[in-house]
Structure 1
Amino acid sequence: MNYTTIEKQGISISTIGFGTNAVGGHNLYENLNEEEGKELVRVALNNRVTLIDTADVYGPGRSEELVGEVLQSFPRNQYILATKGARTVNDQGQSTVNNEPAFLRSACEASLQRLGLDYIDIYYIHFPEPGASLELAVAELVKLKQEGKIKAIGISNVSLSQLKEANSTGDIDVVQLEYNMLNRDIESEILPYCNVHQIAVVAYGPLAFGILGGKYTKELKLDAGDWRNSVDLFKDGNFQANLSKVEKLKEIAKRKDTTVGNLAIAWLLAQKGVTAVIPGGKKTAQILENFKASEIKLTTEDLADIEEIV
């Protein structure tokens, strides 16, 4: 495993983390086993992964509780815990976004309680609220940071203009965004901005939510309750075209003696400005395989061949 630093705060993290939306995320996936989910967190930590990523909306709240149970068995300096707030889920499973300072404070304190921690290493505003002031939202996180409840301030799922507003006082340390071979929207503007302003970039969805894992076929049918039904990558037409790209990527993966999933993660880590990636997973073998991506070195030729495909 390789390690890097969230530059503005000097926080060391593994370049490959573990995303826990399938650990207690019963509102996102069907038929999740909580004991298996906790074991995935243990496996990650026991294999030198230090960045564990969750959110209060996974479950909702249950992921933080399960992750927190596992963390109690590990030294506090062995992991960096990231979580997110700014969304509520009602009894019908419908979510709303709230960036009001008072709400973010209460959400952060509730997360601390569920996690059983004295402080959160990275606290993200999960989604921007249309019409709300991101400056005021970030100002509240600055107060939480001054009180020692969080160490680094993050924001997720933002456009460039929203990121600029949030970072108007230079207080954003980390931004978490979807980024993978099949979705490269952040490359033209957001990545360059983050490079200039020393903002760490954590990429989620590195395997395009399973497509770049290399095991899906055109016959794949997602469960009715699977949140990926709303993702453009899985829409009819898009999904089939993406699978065709994956078949070509498998040839490069074979050349590198690796899997297409690990090739996808290694490609992300080779992109200027990407600090870390957070693949998820539901099976121990799957996440152990993902961690091997840190050992892959892509040449200029490899990157050119991948570019031609994607």
Structure 2
Amino acid sequence: MKYRKLANTDLLLSEVTFGAWAAGGWMWGGTERKDAIDAIRASYSMGVTSIDTAPIYGQGTSEEIVGEAVKGLPRDRFQILTKYGMRWDLKKGDFAFSSKNNNDENIDIYKYAGKESIIKECEDSLKRLGTDYIDLYQIHWPDSTTPIAESMEAVSRLIEQGKVRYAGVCNYDAAQLAEASKYITLASDQVPYSMVKRGIETELIPYCLDNNKSILAYSPLERGLLTGKIKPGHAFAPGDHRKDISFFKGENLQRTDEFLELLKPLAAEKRLTLGQLVILWTLQQPGITIALVGARNSEQAVENAKAIDKTLNKEEIAIITDYLEQLELVV
């Protein structure tokens, strides 16, 4: 494994960081707890020391699984990245959407980052994770009902108390990053980025490069789309949110499959899976610090981590990017 320094911190994060959304089961058709724990432990055995989770993932389930997986490990040997600002147990803030929890019960999700809510969320996360501090604490989504200054003040207090080491954000645009940076030293912005979702290249990446902010790329495999394992006509399990996303429908899935077929000779030459090739391409894009990659079992986790054993040269990256420029999807 290789490691990269998170901006404005002394944290070294593994280039492949374990993304624990799917581990929590919510919106992924449920979870097999043992498989999820095994996946995190298998990742760690491969040098993946950084784990990203959130309270909303399974309404606490993902954080509990992470806590169980790392129990007994020296605390200074791994980094926990978690979030705040999405409540399913409080109707306050920006209504996000309605969903079902892992017990198939209806829940309403709100984006809310008021000061007292953040303090409570942190305490709850620490208990579920079985730790006394969080390495990187990130607002999950912008909350238009709470001033950014108030949210950042709460995180500053948690840092002073030693419960949080560093502050980050998720899904912020450049203007929101600039505003938040007036009140706290920010390390990073966690945003969606993949071969088929490159919108951040226009404004956010230049801002982060100019202002010393790390970008944590989530869903670099576009929720499994870019692994080549999801073919046209794929039937998703009940509760799997991907069935409603345009990337996984009809013509888009067909075109993506044809694009991935073009990459197969290079992947074979490099002795890489398509997913591994995609991870490497992502990590070599300007401004990207780490790639958050999920895994439902230990086999997937090991495969993701092994991507780092290889490298891509400039010519190979150019070949991939040229193919990518010809891919047109309807979103």
Q: Structure 1 length normalisation: TM-score?
A: 0.95
Contact 2:82 2:134 in 1 (8 A): yes
> Aligned residues: percent identity?
32
Count of residue correspondences: 309
Q: What is the distance in 1 between the residues matched to 2:255 and 2:179?
A: 36
2-structure distance, mates of 1:256, 1:54: 31
1:119-167: CA deviations, max 9, x gaps? 0001110011134322221121111111111011011112222222222
State the Cα distance separating 1:179 from its structure 2 match: 0.7
Change in Cα spacing, 1:128 to 1:230, as seen in structure 2 (3 Å) is farther
Separation in 1 of the partners of 2:37 and 2:174?
35
Q: Deviations over 1:227-252 (max 9, x none)?
A: 22343422443222222221212232
- Equivalent runs, 1:58-69 vs 2, <5 Å: 58-69=57-68
The residue correspondences of 1:151-162 to structure 2 (distance < 5 A) are 151-162=165-176
Range with greater deviation from structure 2 (232-241 or 55-64): 232-241
1:229 match = 243
Matching residue within 201, 205, 221 for 2:219: 205
Q: Which amino acid aligns with 1:203?
A: A
- Give the 3-state SS of the residue equivalent to 2:106 in structure 1: coil
Residue correspondence of structure 1 range 263-274 to structure 2 within 5 A: 263-274=277-288
Decide whether aligned partners of structure 1 residues 119 and 46 sit closer, same or farther in structure 2, where only a CA change above 3 A counts.
same
What residue is the counterpart of 2:15 in the other structure?
15
Structure 1 stretch 11-20 or stretch 219-228: which is displaced more? Answer: 219-228
Q: Does 1:109 align with 2:108?
A: no
Matched with 1:183 is 197
Gaps of 5+ in 2: 90-104, 325-331
Question: Relative to structure 1, is the Cα distance of residues 7 and 161 closer, same or farther in structure 2, using a 3 angstrom cutoff?
Answer: closer
User: How far does residue 22 in structure 1 lie from its aligned partner after superposition?
Assistant: 2.3
Paired with 1:290 and 1:172, the residues of 2 have a C-alpha distance of 28
Distance in 2 separating the partners of 1:19 and 1:39:
14
Alignment partner, residue 2 of structure 2: 2
| Alignment partners' CA distance in 2, 1:166 and 1:263 | 35
Higher mean C-alpha displacement, 164-173 vs 299-308: 164-173
Equivalent residue letter for 1:66? I
Contact 2:66 2:129 in 1 (8 A): yes
The residue type paired with residue 168 of structure 1 is: K
CA contact (8 A) 1:214 1:250 kept: no
Native 8 Å contact 1:152 1:174 kept in 2: no
- 1-side partners of 2:72 and 2:127: how far apart? 17
The counterpart of 2:272, out of the listed 258, 275, 278, is: 258
- Measured on the aligned residues, the alpha-carbon RMSD in Å equals 1.6
- CA deviation vs aligned residue, 1:45-98 (integer Å, no higher than 9, x gap): 122111011100011101111211222221101100011111112551321110
Q: Is the 8 A contact 1:17 1:53 kept in 2?
A: yes
Cα distance between partner residues in 2 of 1:188 and 1:201: 14
SS at match of 2:107: coil
Distance in 2 separating the partners of 1:235 and 1:172: 37
Structure 2 distance, partners of 1:247, 1:125, is 38
Runs of 4+ in 1 over 3 A off after TM superposition: 229-232
CA distance in 1, matches of 2:65, 2:81: 14
Q: CA deviation at 1:170?
A: 5.2
TM-score, structure 2 length as denominator?
0.89
- Give runs of aligned pairs for residues 41-60 of structure 1, distance below 5 A: 41-60=40-59
